Structure 1
Amino acid sequence: MRIEELYQCFLQCDGVSIDTRNITPNSLFFALKGDNFDGNNFAQQALDQGASFVVMDNKKLVTHSDKMFWYTDALMALQELAKYHRQQLGLPIIALTGSNGKTTTKELILAILSKKYQVKATQGNLNNHIGVPLTLLSFNEDTDIGIVEMGANHLGEIAHLSELADPDFGYITNFGKAHLEGFGSFEGVIKAKSELYTYLENNYKLAFTNTDDTLQDIKTMTFTRYTFGTEPQNDLVIEEYKAQPMASITTQKTLFNSNLTGIYNATNIAAAVAIGTYFKVPISDCKTAIEQYIPTNNRSQWVEKGTYKILLDAYNANPSSMEAALDNFIQLDSKGSKTLFLGDMFELGQNSSEEHVTLIEKLNKIDNLTIYYIGNHFFEHQQVQPKSFFFKTYNDFAEVFDSKTMDENGIILIKGSRGMALERILDLI
C-alpha cells in the first residue's frame, strides 16, 4: 500500500490507536508488535470496538480488504505516515531532548507559547520511536506550533527521530549521566544527544542554546542560534537565577517566580522564556504562564500529608538528576529534620556500582539526614552509618517502615528510577 493511499485513510479518521484497550471511535489502528504481544491478533477486535481501518503486517490475518491494509512492517507504516503528515502540514516544530528536564521544559514551553498560539506537544513522555510518530499525527491544520520531545537510550535514536519530525528548532536541556548502559559512557551520551545538533546544522535550522552550559555553547558556536544566559551578549540575558525555596529567574527586569524546586528548574524556566521571546510572546504573558504552571506526575512536586512536606521527584533518576535533586534538597530551609527515600538508579550498566557508591559516600559526609536506601543496587553497597537504612526491595522496606518515627516538622525527599515506583511511599505516610 502506498503512503499516499494510507494518508487518505488517515484523513478520514479522527485519530490513531495502537491499543485495543483504549480504542477511539473512527480511528486508524496500527497492529504493532511487542515482546509479549502481537497487535495483528487484535485487528478484528479493533474494528469491532470502533476503529475504521487497521494497518497490519501479517497478511494471513487480513480478512476485510476494504478495512484491513497490509504493510511489510506496521511500525514502519506508522512512522512513514507521521513523517508524510508532518511534511503536508509544514508547521514549525520545536524538538527537545537532553538527559534531564525534558518533560518539564516541554510543559513550560507549551504553557508560554499557548498564550499566543495554538500549540500541541508530546503527551506525557511519549518520546520514543512510537511516541514521536503519535505526537506528529496529533498535529492538524489548526496547530500553529508543534513541540516534540525526543528520548533515547541508544546511539542513533535521536537521529532517527529527527528525520521523522524534521524540526525547525531544537534545544538540548543538558548532557548528563543517563542511560549509560545503552550509551556506554558519558561521552556516548554526549554523542547521542548531539545527533539533534547534527540534524539542525545539516538542515540549516535554529538551535536554542544555554551559553552558560559550556558544552552547548561550543557545539552550537557555528549554528544559527538564539541564546540565553548570564553574559550580556546573549539574545536573552538572565539577570539572576535563584532557588530558595522555589526556582525563579529575573530577565528583562522581570521576576519569574515558579512552583518548581531546584536551580536546575530555574534553567528550564529560562529556556522556556527564551523560546517564548523568540516567538514574540509578551514578557508579561511569559511570566503569567510560568507562575501558573503546577508540576504533576511525580516531578519536583511538593505534596503535603498532614504536617509532612514532601518533595516528590519519583518519576525517574540517574546520577546527574539525583545529584541535582540532593544538592537542592540539602540546602532547603527546614524547621525540623530532613528525611530521604532514595531508590535505585537503573540503566547504568557497568557504571552502576560506582555511581551508587559515589552517592552513598556523598551523603555520608552530610549531617542531620535520615536516609532510606531502597533497591538491590544500593543494598549491595550498604555501609554502616548512623541514620542510614538499606532495604533490598520496596516490600522489605514497607514491612518495617513506621512514619511515626519521622519528625513532623521536617521535610522529605522521595526520588528514584521509574521502575522503583517510590510514589507508593505516600501511602505509608
Structure 2
Amino acid sequence: MALWTSAELAIATHGRASRAFEVTGISIDSRAIVPGDLFVALKDVRDGHDFVADALRKGAAAALVSRVPEGCSATDPLLVVADVLEALQALGRAGRARSTARVIAVTGSVGKTSTKEMLRAVLSPQGKVHAAEASFNNHWGVPVTLARLPVDADFAVVEIGMNHPGEIAPLARLTRPHAALITTVAAAHLEAFESLAGIAREKAAVFEGLEPGGTAVVPTGLEVTPILIGAARAHAARTITFGPEPGSEYLLKSATISGDATIVQAESAAGPLLFKVMTPGKHFASNALGVLALAEAVGADPALVALDLALWRPPAGRGSRERIWLDLIDETQSFDLFDDAFNANPTSLEAALEVLAGQRPRDGVGRVHHGRRVAILGDMLELGPEEVALHLAIAEHPALAQVDLVHAAGPLMWHLFDALPREKRGEWHASAPELVARAPHLVDAGDVVLVKGSKGSKVSLVVDALRKLGQPGAADAFRGRE
C-alpha cells in the first residue's frame, strides 16, 4: 500500500513531480534505503543531493530535491521543491493532518526513547501503533516520523528532544499531540541553559502543541514540578500527575528490584496497582506509571496496559541486559552485561548504579573466584560549568558502596575515579578506545558489568569489545539454561 503518491507529495510540499510515482517509506539516509522509499536529500556535513543517484540505484522510488542532482536527469523520479528541509516539515505536517490516530508526544531529560518503546509495546495489542525509529526526535526526525505515519494507524508515539532553547515548541506544534508526557527533568544539556529551571521551561514547551482538549502528563517529586504543572495547566484541558509525591493521580508507592524485574506497587483513582516491568530499575517503574497515565488519556485500557508492561524490554544501549559466555563448554564461565552506553547525565548514572548495586554476582568461577559488580564509566557531556563538580559528586552516591570495581575513561570521569577508595579503582584511561584494548582485563566470569556514558564519550566501543569476548555460538548453545 502506498504511503504517498507523487500527486499527494506535490500538494503537501508545493513541489513538482517529474513523473508519477508512489512511495512506501521515507528515508534521510541513502545507506539505509529500502526499495520504495522517498529519499530526502537534506544537507548536513554532506549534501544529500550527492547521494540521490545512489539511492535511486538501490531502489528508492523517488527523491525529494531542490535541483536535479549530478548523475540524474529530469526524467528520473524526482520531487523538486524550493527548500528540502522546509518541504520535509510540510510533509510531516500533512502526514499529521490526514491522520485519525491518537497522537502522543514524549519528552524529558532521561527515558524518552525507553518510554516511547514501552508505549509501542503496550499499545500494540490494542491497535496499530506507529512510533519513531531509534531517537528520531529532532528537527529532521520528528517530521520524518510524521511523514511516515500510516493513514490507518490507531496510535502514534512521537519522541521530541532538544539540545538548545527554543527547539521543543515548534516540534510540539508540528506534532499536535492529544497527550504529552515529560518523563523527568535532570541536569542534561546544562551548558545551553542557565539552570535546571531553564531546562524545565523548555521541556514544558511540549504542552504548547497540545490539541484542544489535550492531556498533559507530569512527573511529581521534582524540584521543578511546579514549573511543569504551571505550563500544563496553561495549555492542557487536563493534567495528570504521576510519581512518589502524595496527591499524585498515579502514586508510586514502591518499586522493588527482584532479579531481572522491577515489581511496582502504585495507586490510581481506579484502585491499587501491582505490576511487573521486566527489567531492573526504579526509573523504569516511574516511566511505566507515566505510560499508564498516557494510556488513560488516549483511550487505551489501563488494566491491559499494566499487564502488557511485561512485554517491554529496554532498547540496546539503554539498560538492556545480556549474558556473555566466555566458554563453549562451561556455561558458568560467563558474565552479565548491562549496556547503558547511549547517554548519561547525573540522574541517569545514579539510577544505573542503583540497578548495578542490586545485582548478585556469582562466586567461585573465573580467575578471581569472587563475583564483582563492575562499573565502566565514560564522561557525562554537555553539563556546563559545573561538569567537574557533578562528576565528583557521583563518588559520594550510596550505590557505589555496593560496587566492587570502577573502570573509567575520559578527563571528566577522572575526577570521580580519583575520589574513589583505592580498592574500588580499576583502570582509568584518557579515552574509551584506550579502554577497549584492555577489555579482556576489565571483567571476569561471575561479574555483573555496567557500561554507562554519554554517546560522545564512545563507551559503546567498550560494549562492543566486551561482547567480542564471548564465544560465537555460545548464546544459542546455552540459551534457556542460564
TM-score bin, normalised by smaller chain: 0.7 to 0.9
1:387 aligns with 2:424: yes
Q: What TM-score, normalized by structure 1, do the two folds share?
A: 0.88
Q: Distance in 2 between matches of 1:58 and 1:4?
A: 15
1:272 aligns with 2:294: no
Match of 1:38 in 2: 47
What's the RMSD between the two structures over aligned residues? 3.1
Match of 2:130 in 1: 120
Q: Distance in 2 between matches of 1:395 and 1:46?
A: 33
1:215 aligns with 2:224: yes
CA-to-aligned-CA distance 1:9-51 (integer Å, 9 cap, x gap): 999321222222232333322111111x111122233333333
Percent sequence identity over aligned pairs: 29
Match of 2:190 in 1: 180
- Determine if contact 1:311/1:413 at 8 Å carries over to the other structure: yes
- Determine if contact 2:361/2:373 at 8 Å carries over to the other structure: yes
Q: Distance in 2 between matches of 1:226 and 1:399?
A: 49
1:240 aligns with 2:249: no
1:86 aligns with 2:105: no
Task: Please show how residues 15-414 of structure 1 align to structure 2 within 5 Å.
Answer: 15-35=25-45, 37-58=46-67, 63-64=73-74, 67-200=77-210, 205-213=214-222, 215-216=224-225, 219-220=228-229, 222=233, 223=236, 224-229=238-243, 234-245=248-259, 246-251=261-266, 252-305=271-324, 306-334=333-361, 336-360=371-395, 362=397, 366=401, 369-379=404-414, 383=418, 385-388=422-425, 389-403=427-441, 406=443, 408-414=445-451
SS at match of 1:220: helix
Q: Distance in 1 between matches of 2:113 and 2:432?
A: 26
Say if 1:65 and 1:26 are closer, same or farther in 2 by CA, change over 3 A: same
State the 1:341 CA deviation: 0.8
State the 1:231 CA deviation: 6.4
SS at match of 1:114: helix
SS at match of 2:401: coil
1:417 aligns with 2:454: yes
CA-to-aligned-CA distance 1:122-172 (integer Å, 9 cap, x gap): 111111111111111121221011110011111111112112211121000
Q: Distance in 1 between matches of 2:189 and 2:116?
A: 20
Q: Distance in 1 between matches of 2:16 and 2:156?
A: 20
Q: Distance in 2 between matches of 1:395 and 1:52?
A: 40
Q: Distance in 2 between matches of 1:397 and 1:231?
A: 41
Report the AA paired with residue 243 of structure 1. I
Report the AA paired with residue 404 of structure 2. L
Say if 1:381 and 1:319 are closer, same or farther in 2 by CA, change over 3 A: closer
- Larger deviation, residues 22-31 vs 151-160: 22-31
- Determine if contact 2:410/2:429 at 8 Å carries over to the other structure: yes
Say if 1:311 and 1:4 are closer, same or farther in 2 by CA, change over 3 A: closer
Q: Is there any run of 5+ residues in structure 2 with no aligned partner, and where?
A: 1-9, 325-332, 363-370, 471-482
- Determine if contact 1:112/1:281 at 8 Å carries over to the other structure: no
- Larger deviation, residues 51-60 vs 22-31: 51-60
Q: Distance in 2 between matches of 1:307 and 1:124?
A: 29
Say if 1:232 and 1:414 are closer, same or farther in 2 by CA, change over 3 A: closer
Aligned residues: 426
